[in-house]
Every structure is written in C-alpha cells, then in structure tokens.
Structure 1
C-alpha cells in the first residue's frame, strides 16, 4: 500500500508539473496575440508572463508557510481551484492591467500552491535515490513544454485566444483531481519498525524504506543520531498520540535557527545559490517568454515558433532525468555539474542572434540543447539543496529557491522587452540573457573558494533522549 502510494504520488506530481509549467510556458505564444489585441509594446506584454512566472515561482516562502499549518494535499487542492477560476476570468478582461492581476498574480499563486507541495512531497519519500526521483518528477515540466506550445497554437488557430484559455482552464481543473490523490506522509509510524529503529545504537544514516519512519527521522519528530536513546513504555509522561517526543534538540546551527522561517538565507553557500537562481532565471525567463515573438520577427511563422519551443521542451524532459540520474553518482561533483549546465545554457542563448543560426533546423537544435541544460539544472535543484542544508531544511529552502526564481522571472522579461523597444531589435536582449546565465554559473565558484578558507562547520551528534508510546 505504501509503495503504491509513493509511485502514485510521483505520477500525480509529474502530471501537475505537466499542466502548471505547460500553461506558464505557453504565455509566449499569447504575447503575439496580446500585442495585437491590446495594441501595446513588447515590454508591457512581456510583463504579463513575467508576473505570472514570478508569482508562480516566487510565492515559495508563502506556500511553504502554509504547508506548515495545512496538509500538503489541502494546499495543492486550494491552489488548483484558484488557478482554474483565474483562468476562466481571463477571456472577459478588456484591459491589460487586469491581466497583470488575474492571470499574473492569481493564476501564478494557484500554480505555486500546486507545484511546491507535490515536488517536496515526492522528494521526501526518498533518501538514496532522491536525486533521480526528483528528476523524474521534475521532468513533467519538460513534457509540458513539449505538449503545450503546439497545443496552444492549434487551439488559438481554431478557437481564438479567448476560446483557447477556456480549454486551458479545463486542463487546470484536472490538477484538483491529481492534488486530491496525492499520498500524504503519515504521522503515526508502524510500532514494531519504529522500535527496531530506535533501539539500534547506530542509526545516523539508517533508511527504513518506510516513508513514515524516514519522514519522522528527517522532519525532526524522530532524530537519528549516534548517542543514548531511552525508551519508556510505562512512563506517565509519554504522549498517548503515539508521536515521538523530542526532549533534547540537536546542537547544529540549522536546528537552532529552524524557529525562524528565513534561517536558510543565513547560510553563505545557500545565499550564493539563491543569488545564482535569481540571475539564471532572469536569463531563462527572457528566452522563454520572448522567444516566440523573436522567432516571428525573424520571418518565421507562428507554427515554426511553436515547433522550435517544442524541441526545447523535449530537451528539458531528457535533461531533468539525466540531471537527476547524474546527481545520484557519488563520484561526480554536483557543484561542477551545476556550474557547467549554467555556463552551457548561457552560451547557447547567445548563439540565437547570429544570422548563420537563424533557420528552423538550427534554431530547433539550439533550443533542444538549451532545454537539455535547463532540465539538467532543474534535476539537480533538490539534491543540491539537500547537500547545502540537509534534508530537514528542504521544505523551507525550496520555498526560498522558488522566491529567487520568481524574482528573476519578474525582472528579466520586462527588462528584455525594454531593450527591444528602445533599440528596435531583440539581438541585444538575447546577448544580455545569455550573459546573465553565464555570470550566474561563475558566481557559484564562490562556494568552493569560501569553503577552502572557511570550512563549513561539521555536524556534531549529542546525547538525545526521547520517549515514545509503544502501546497499541
């Protein structure tokens, strides 16, 4: 039952990412329609998608705070409902300002409330293969990028942009079903397996293959440290709820700071990672949102633009799995891989303005490789976050990573659109986008440089006394 639930959660998390990222990624095709319909410039239209992506990714801390007080499943269901209602309102809006609010803010917030719980929940079920599991779940964003550009292009052709949005709202409605079927982490573990874990004197890295126990070990309800463990079956102070009562806290800094929601930003390495995510998301959002209009400005058709974006989605899907798989190989440096993916994606984006590369075939190849690198980055995000801060901080840290992604997504496209409006061409915009991503990769070198001169504090184990109710 539990293993079936784990596989089910991964499958539904995958499908949630297909719909949420697919819908967000398709905004580039709508930009072409919005420019004609609202009679505005590229900078004003690009702000619609940047606000949506920015809120989608940037609402992470707010959503992670909700996840502390509500079940992951409930947060996801509420988010699905919010995104669906917001999309249904879009065709009735006659002012671009309203699009900023309804589509940009509310739809983005709804998808954030769906995406974060499903991603974190899928990652918490695994220890040894966490990187690969996260890569498989995240690859749903690549599939969404493959399906939705051609789907949206066809829908706009047959039903107009307003009619196509109604159909997207119907697809978003399916996220309510997927969210309701997510398999939650149980609070009460199996009594026999819990006792066997607690009575083991060396359980620091023990994995039980029972997600209920493993979650308690990683969430702070059952600390796994080498040290003295006391079990009390008849003590009157034992809680009748069956939950482990932690009587002594671990002395490592992250645990002491966990009472503060923003404690993760106090870690130097994670703060550099946070800044890196802002920069590379600025560049990626520019290429993602402005690329369709850029391809049309080259003389290509809208169908060609949608096809080229599809190749980017195929690359993203493959890259997520490759990145997640490589992240499980202990002999490979995840930091080196992450830096390499960043620099490669930035250089590829800077190829786009050169006339020699501006054919459908070559642009498709460049966007495929670009998607491959982008997917590799996504596949490493979860496991690299765990490397920096540990499993217990994953929920909060991933929320702040989404915030950094959102900040970059909000700033990037309007800035790129302003370059185009002022200079009359998109070429400087894409050179700027590629440079941002390369600089983001180079920024990550500060982590090993700092660690060489100021080593990170080692985690120390202390004596831990806990009590657990073993009554049936």
Structure 2
C-alpha cells in the first residue's frame, strides 16, 4: 500500500530510519520487554519496509534479464549471514552489548542512503504513458455509435438506485487502488499462494535447528556454527547462478516448473539429513541445503512476477507476505515441539522435508494444469479474433439487450411519468 501511494524511495528511507532508531534505542533499554519493542517491533517493521520495495523496484526496471537481477539482489542476504555473526561477536567483545547496538544502528542507517539511490520512473516514461492514454481515449470517443449515444440521452439514463451502494463502491475502489484484492480471482496467484504457504511450514526450521542438531550428536560448538557459514557461502553463490539459469531461453518460459523442482529438492535434502553420520555428513548436507535454499530464494519473487505481471506485483507481494507470515512463525515452534516430544531431531527434519516435497509436488501439478488452461484460453481467444462475424453478432446482441433493459427498466418509471405530465401541461396551454 505504501509503495503504491508514495513510491519505493521514501518507503525505504523511512524504513532505514526506523531500523536505526530501533537499534540505537535498544542500547538504552533496561528490560527484555523494551528490547522486544525496540529490536523486534520497531527494527523489524523498518526491515519489512526495506525488503518489499527493494524487490518491487526490480520488476519496474528489468524485463529481459529480470531473473538475473532478482538472483543478484537476493544474494545480499547470505553475504550478511556470513559476516554478521563474527561481526556481532567482535563488537560484543570490544564494546559490550550497548555499544554493539549503537554501531549496528549506525550501520542500518545506511539503508536510507540505499533508498536515496532508488531512482523513480522518469518523466519521459510517464509522459509516454499519458500520451498513450490520451490517444486511447480519443480512439474510444471516435468509436461511439449511434446506439450508445441514444442510451446516454437524458430520456434513457437509468435513475440512481441508492447513494449507499455508490458510496460503498467508491470505498472499495479506493482500497482496491492500493491493494488489488481481485488477485484472489487469479488462478495462477492462488496456486502460488497455497503452495508457498505450505512450503514455509518447513522452510526455515532446519536453519534454526542445524547447529543445535550438530551439538546434539557430539560436534563442538565452533564446528557446529561453521555449518551455517558453509550454508551461507553456498547460498550466496547459488542465488545469482540460479538467476542466470532461470533467465535462459529453455527455463524461463516454464520457470514455474523449475521453482517447483527447487522446493522438492530442498525437501529431499531434509529427508536425507537424518542419514548423515558425523561432521562430514553434515557438511555435505549443508552444501546441498545451501544450494537448494538459494535456488528457492532466487526465484521466490520472480515466479510471482511471472504470474501476475509487473503492474500487479506490488499488491501481490503484500497479500502473499501477509499469508506467508503465519506459516513462517509456526514452522520453527512446530519443529521444536517435535524435538521435545520425541527427544530426537530427525523427526523435525522429516516433517520439514515431507512438507516441502508435498508443496513442490502440488505446485508442479497445479502449474501444469494452469499452463494447459492458459493455452486453451489463448486458443479460444485467437479463434474468436479470426472470426469477426461472431464477435460482431455477440456485441450487437449485448448492445440490444442493454438498450431493452434501459428502456423498459422499472427504475425509469418516475422519469416517464414526469415526461407524460409535461406533455399534458403543454397540451393544456
């Protein structure tokens, strides 16, 4: 909503300010509750205002190489995952936790600088769009027929029913202007939404429990932490590489299948994790997990943009994020509950793997169905265009039907009575 109303640049700058304020305020906190508010709520809200505009603006500037741009943009997350943990430890050892929050707040204020570099769409593009709109309006005016003029005459205008309905429509139109709820009628969007909501039940939990699982099987603390670094390094390489592959002429026309495979591959890695023995086995798992994780993240937003288009992408991201947040929050607690119940980490990995394989299979089957339906609809549309007689007959029938409704509708009865009264007065004089 904010991006549609104000644009990406001011939203990112405001989000950067919130991030800086939240982290600096955390340095002066005296209770856990205050830390929750400053770091969790204020900083978290600021980071949310940074992520979505950054993804949305890619779709406005890139088309031909958009998958590559998405892959490169999403590669920033694993870079920070590699460097942030040792940086936090260094700051804590040298400046304490209060000093660490102050320095991290200053670092996050650089989001404002990044937001200032977001170049809005130029005036030339806007003028071209305006000119095209005006030309379209002129063309429509020229195509007004005699029947349409008759229907718009004072004697044939339908009376307004109720002002409440009109006010309700205005309110809905204003809301729909910033958040397009008509996306819930979009077949591809619904398939994507259901598959992703299911996927996120098992997407983040393995990252949360990887290091504790390594400690559980007897691996020392530093070696267990290094597994996350291995995962992040592979993830950092996998994201732009996946973007390049997804941009190829063989993959991009059917990128939804590639995305489905990536999710299922991710789930297969988790299902095989309990079979890994020793530290070497977990290193191999971390490599494949990082590869699969990077593949999914690189195409997460690209596939959505491929389905709904750049014009509706802003609303689609907002609606998808709202739905996904629920399962993102539920995934790790459910995994922790399984660990506490059975006293073993393998059931958590099996649960995550099974959910993701199911999500990948669902997306693959439903995307196949969606592609078939789109091809069928396109074929029917072309058949109608090639037969102008049937289109003209259909339009004439629709116009005649509308005219009969307007002329004979009960809502025009007061107008007809008034007209008859005027005729009688004229005859009487």
Whether the TM-score (by the shorter chain) exceeds 0.5 is yes
Q: Distance in 2 between matches of 1:294 and 1:279?
A: 24
The gaps in structure 2 that reach 5 residues or longer are 142-172, 386-429
1:281 aligns with 2:217: no
Give deviations 1:274-319, integer Å, cap 9, x for gaps: 1222222221221222323333333333322332111211222222
Structure 1 residue matching 2:122: 3-state secondary structure:
coil
Structure 2 residue matching 1:315: 3-state secondary structure:
helix
Q: CA deviation at 1:112?
A: 0.9
The match for 1:87 is 23
Give deviations 1:26-48, integer Å, cap 9, x for gaps: xxxxxxxxxxxxxxxxxxxxxxx
Q: Distance in 1 between matches of 2:132 and 2:212?
A: 53
Structure 1 residue matching 2:291: 3-state secondary structure:
helix
Q: How does 1:22-421 map to 2 (within 5 A)?
A: 65-90=1-26, 96-156=32-92, 163-189=99-125, 194=128, 216=129, 259=177, 261-332=180-251, 333-354=254-275, 356=277, 358-359=278-279, 361-421=280-340
Q: CA deviation at 1:439?
A: 1.5
The match for 2:357 is 438
Q: CA deviation at 1:329?
A: 1.8
Q: CA deviation at 1:95?
A: 5.4
The gaps in structure 1 that reach 5 residues or longer are 1-64, 195-215, 233-254, 463-472
Q: CA deviation at 1:76?
A: 0.6
8 Å contact kept, 2:191–2:367: no
Query: For residues 80 and 355 of structure 1, do their structure 2 counterparts lie closer, same or farther at Cα, with a shift above 3 Å needed?
Result: same
8 Å contact kept, 1:311–1:365: no
Q: Distance in 2 between matches of 1:391 and 1:223?
A: 18
Query: For residues 148 and 351 of structure 1, do their structure 2 counterparts lie closer, same or farther at Cα, with a shift above 3 Å needed?
Result: farther
Q: Which has the larger radius of gyration?
A: 2
CA RMSD across the alignment: 3.4
The structure 1 segments of at least 4 consecutive aligned residues displaced by more than 6 Å after TM superposition are: 459-462
Which is further off, 110-119 or 401-410? Answer: 401-410
Q: Normalization by structure 2: what TM-score?
A: 0.71
Q: Normalization by structure 1: what TM-score?
A: 0.65
Give deviations 1:373-402, integer Å, cap 9, x for gaps: 222122223332232112211111122333
Say which structure is richer in helix: 2
Between the two proteins, the alignment pairs up a number of residues equal to 346
The higher relative CO (CA closer than 8 Å, separation ≥ 6) is in: 1
Q: Distance in 1 between matches of 2:3 and 2:107?
A: 24
Q: Distance in 2 between matches of 1:436 and 1:403?
A: 20
Which is further off, 447-456 or 323-332? Answer: 447-456
The match for 2:348 is 429
Q: Distance in 2 between matches of 1:350 and 1:115?
A: 31
